[in-house]
């Protein structure tokens, strides 16, 4: 997780989070055993419609059904007055057994969900008697408490003018029709993030765009105006950037504390009236208590791995789901020798690559373990070399100096401390033979997954998110033991736990791969297959679509 910037003072989460928006729903409508294929209204019922495109009206279907227990005052069935957004549009009198009424919708029903209000008439006196029975307990009034008069007017379904069912009150467990929601839901995403930033959280947002495109989901791409320390040099989607959201669901790729600054930078209406999702990563088993309040800005949270989901879900008052990153890499067309020449790498050595962002906290990324493992392997004397790529030196000068000092006696080690474009980073990964990540914890492991997608064998700590997709069949998982943090490391608090990888085991895996080119090929191909099967944009995009359909049924 990148180091957070100083944030402004926290402010209460206004409209737009914590389930502030619902597309559909009903109230004041009840089910009973008298007529299980329909529902009744106690006095006033409301039905909230989803956004409806090209639908001038909806049709309410119902019937009058005599209640066998209704006697005296209750025998006359009630009337029904219907209104849309507060405007009366029609009334039903006690007449034929079956009835229907067309309810015209306002012109903006496609963008502003309409509310249908249904009010029973002719029930005031019997409802008063029911109240009197509840309050006094007198046996004479008890029969009115069942409200048999009200129950005689039955709601069957609400449909479009073409007969397509929107609400089926015969299905008391889920009256809002799933088939209608799936067919007519306006599915689309506002992808809000550091769209141009050269860092992992920026790639998180760009990967979501690729997955949404693969699933043919409409998107609006919005570059967060929040401050970010790294450069904004990735122009992959520059031509598609817009200022304002125009889709019903917004996904915000940011660190949790940054949620409180969204409204300050983008305006209070930016989240209002939309279903808002926070896309969060976290790298330890326990989510910070102090960050739970940031859930209030969102209706649900998405995470890149089950490891992250389990940590956040234990604390979050809103739903938390796993939505992995979409991984796609385009191998460069140059030969290995051409690629190595581009980065001034030795052409004839077996190259082990490690890369990380200094803003993601060196103790977590653990470069010293990679250096020590390579040193112990003794492979430098046998024609191998270590390549370390890092960036984010500004503000982390001490960490970079310590890294330089750690490799000062390793003549063949190549240290690249600069920001590379996405294409150049892929080229560097392609130029090397093995990727190594002896991290203490990962929320996903972008570099691990990308190198696997390129068909590279990967040596990685067998703990946290990377352990969900790297195993002995497609890579080299390294044994580890969990240890407690002895001091705070950025947001990672003293007393929390993370992994300490077995450096000797990692060194042995380096030697095993160096001695067996066929093994490197076999593991690399298995790794490529794993990433394609689990993290291809089409696969992840299909997950988005299924979730958006479910959200649309709310």
Q: pTM of this prediction? A: 0.80
The least confident of 136-145, 201-210, 218-227, 434-443 is 136-145
Determine the average pLDDT of the residues in 100-104.
96
pLDDT of residue 178: 82
47: CB partners within 8 A, 6+ apart: 25, 26, 29, 115, 116, 118, 158, 167
Q: Are 44 and 28 in contact (CB under 8 A)?
A: yes
Determine the average pLDDT of the residues in 479-487.
97
Burial class of 512 by CB neighbour count within 10 A (0 to 12, 13 to 18, 19+): middle
The arrangement of strands across the sheet holding 320-322 comes to: 219-223, 189-193, 249-253, 275-279, 300-303, 320-322
β-bridge mates for residue 44, sequence order: 119
Confidence of residue 24 (pLDDT cuts 50, 70, 90): low
Determine the average pLDDT of the residues in 235-247.
94
Would you say residue 12 has pLDDT above 90? no
Confidence of residue 10 (pLDDT cuts 50, 70, 90): very low
* Strand 480-484 to 497-501 pairing: antiparallel
Determine the average pLDDT of the residues in 108-129.
89
pLDDT of residue 17: 52
Dihedral, CA of residue 268, residue 271, residue 273 and residue 276, to nearest 10: -160
β-bridge mates for residue 58, sequence order: 103, 160
Task: Tell me how far apart the alpha carbons of residues 131 and 139 are, in angstroms, rounded to a whole number.
Answer: 13
Tell which wins on pLDDT, 169 or 177. Answer: 169
Confidence of residue 53 (pLDDT cuts 50, 70, 90): confident
Confidence of residue 95 (pLDDT cuts 50, 70, 90): low
Task: Tell me how far apart the alpha carbons of residues 323 and 547 are, in angstroms, rounded to a whole number.
Answer: 10
β-bridge mates for residue 279, sequence order: 253, 302
pLDDT of residue 13: 43
**How many CB atoms within 10 Å of residue 237?**
18
Task: Tell me how far apart the alpha carbons of residues 154 and 75 are, in angstroms, rounded to a whole number.
Answer: 15
pLDDT of residue 18: 45
Q: Tokens 């007529």 belong to which residue?
A: 35
Would you say residue 198 has pLDDT above 90? no
Q: Tokens 């227990």 belong to which residue?
A: 69
- CA 68, distance to chain mean position in Å, is 52
Tell which wins on pLDDT, 143 or 447. Answer: 447
Would you say residue 466 has pLDDT above 90? yes
Would you say residue 240 has pLDDT above 70? yes
Q: Are 256 and 311 in contact (CB under 8 A)?
A: no
Would you say residue 21 has pLDDT above 70? no
The size of the chain, in residues, is: 554
Confidence of residue 554 (pLDDT cuts 50, 70, 90): low
Q: What does the pLDDT look like over 326-377, one tens digit per residue? A: 999 999 999 999 999 999 999 999 999 999 888 888 999 999 999 999 999 9
Determine the average pLDDT of the residues in 242-264.
95
Would you say residue 195 has pLDDT above 50? yes
The least confident of 7-21, 94-108, 249-263 is 7-21
Q: Are 306 and 285 in contact (CB under 8 A)?
A: no
pLDDT of residue 456: 98
């Amino acid at each position: 997780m990148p180091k957070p910037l100083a944030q402004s003072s926290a402010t209460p989460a206004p409209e737009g989070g914590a389930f502030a928006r619902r597309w559909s729903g009903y109230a004041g409508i009840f089910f009973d055993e008298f007529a299980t294929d329909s529902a009744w209204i106690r006095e006033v019922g409301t039905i909230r419609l989803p956004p409806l495109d090209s639908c001038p009206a909806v049709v309410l279907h119902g019937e009058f059904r005599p209640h066998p227990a209704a006697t005296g005052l209750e025998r006359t069935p009630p009337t029904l007055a219907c209104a849309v957004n507060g405007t009366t549009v029609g009334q039903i009198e006690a007449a034929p057994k079956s009835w229907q009424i067309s309810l015209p919708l306002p012109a903006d029903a496609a963008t502003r969900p309409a509310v249908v209000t249904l009010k029973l008439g002719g029930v005031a006196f019997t409802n008063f008697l029911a109240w009197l029975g509840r309050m006094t307990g007198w046996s004479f009034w008890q029969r009115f408490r069942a409200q048999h008069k009200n129950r005689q007017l039955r709601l069957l379904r609400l449909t479009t003018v073409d007969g397509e069912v929107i609400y089926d009150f015969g299905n008391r467990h889920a009256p809002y029709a799933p088939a209608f929601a799936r067919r007519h839901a306006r599915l689309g995403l506002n992808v809000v993030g550091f769209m141009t930033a050269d860092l992992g959280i920026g790639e998180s947002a760009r990967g979501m765009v690729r997955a949404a495109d693969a699933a043919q989901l409409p998107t609006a791409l919005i570059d967060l105006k929040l401050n970010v320390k790294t450069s904004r040099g990735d122009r992959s989607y520059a031509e598609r950037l817009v200022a304002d959201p125009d889709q019903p669901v917004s996904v915000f790729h940011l660190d949790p504390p940054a949620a409180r600054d969204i409204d300050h930078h983008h305006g209070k209406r930016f989240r209002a009236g939309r279903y808002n999702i926070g896309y969060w990563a976290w790298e330890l088993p326990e989510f910070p208590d102090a960050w739970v309040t940031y859930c209030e800005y969102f209706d649900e949270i998405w995470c890149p791995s089950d490891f992250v989901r389990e940590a956040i879900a234990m604390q979050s008052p809103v739903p938390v789901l796993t939505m992995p990153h979409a991984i796609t890499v385009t191998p460069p067309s140059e030969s290995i020798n051409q690629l190595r020449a581009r980065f001034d790498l030795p052409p004839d050595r077996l190259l082990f690559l490690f890369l990380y962002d200094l803003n993601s906290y060196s103790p977590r990324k653990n470069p010293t373990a990679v250096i020590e493992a390579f040193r112990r392997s003794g492979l430098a004397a046998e024609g191998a070399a270590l390549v370390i790529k890092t960036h984010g030196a500004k503000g982390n000068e001490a960490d970079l100096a310590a890294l330089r000092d750690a490799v000062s006696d390793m003549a063949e080690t190549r240290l690249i401390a600069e920001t590379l474009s996405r294409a150049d980073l892929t080229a560097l990964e392609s130029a090397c033979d093995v990727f190594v990540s002896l991290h203490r914890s990962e929320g996903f492991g972008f570099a691990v997954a990308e190198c696997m997608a390129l068909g590279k064998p990967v040596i990685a700590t067998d703990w946290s998110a990377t352990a969900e997709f790297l195993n002995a069949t497609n890579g080299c998982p390294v044994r580890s033991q969990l240890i407690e943090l002895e001091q705070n490391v950025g947001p990672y608090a003293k007393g929390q736990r993370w992994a300490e990888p077995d450096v000797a085991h990692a060194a042995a895996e380096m030697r095993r791969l160096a001695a067996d080119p066929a093994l490197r090929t076999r593991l690399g191909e298995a790794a490529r297959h794993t990433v394609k099967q689990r993290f291809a944009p089409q696969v992840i995009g299909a997950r988005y679509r299924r979730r958006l359909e479910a959200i649309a049924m709310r």
